[in-house]
Amino acid sequence: MTYFTTAKAVRGGLLAAAALLVASATPALATPQEAPPGSWLYLTVTQGEARAGDAPGKLLLCNPPRGHARAAEACAELAAAGGDIGGIPQKDTFCTMIYAPVTATARGEWNGRPVQYTKTFSNPCAMAASTGSVFGRQD
């Protein structure tokens, strides 16, 4: 009989410990509303002339750089442009004249200053030439 009482007490203690861990766990960053202070952008790229909420995006963090495959390069380009995506120098590149529009959207904060950017480009090549690594491959 003592064995069952001890087992119930141990099981109850484990359940209480698990509940405490779940209650005190910090959720993972998923949206800009949960982002840490500093320089960060929530980025989306949609086919056509869609709005930002129409597609999932990525959170680009710059202190330290992380969030997508070319985060360090994207953060360096943003730093050089003072956080202004439109201020990133246009790259010399040849793009096809095929019209396959994409809409790039960014919202977030750069050094405490709010950032809001939306622009539709004629195709992904034109977007990459204008925005550098910021909206590049985000795998």
Average pLDDT, the chain: 77
Render pLDDT for 98-125 as a digit per residue (tens, 0 to 9). 999 999 999 999 988 999 999 999 999 9
**Are 35 and 61 in contact, with CB atoms under 8 Å apart?**
yes
pTM greater than 0.85: no
Phi, then psi, of 87 in degrees rounded to 5: -90, 0
Q: Which residues of the chain have pLDDT under 70?
A: 1-37, 49-55, 137-139
Q: What is the DSSP string of 41-92?
A: EEEEEEESS--GGGS--EEEEETTEESSTTHHHHHHHHHHTTT-GGGSPPP-
- CA 74-76-82 angle, to 5 degrees, is 100
In terms of residues, how long is the chain?
139
**Rg, C-alpha atoms of the chain:** 22
Q: Report all structural domains of the chain as residue ranges with CATH numbers, in order of start.
A: 28-131 (3.30.350.10)
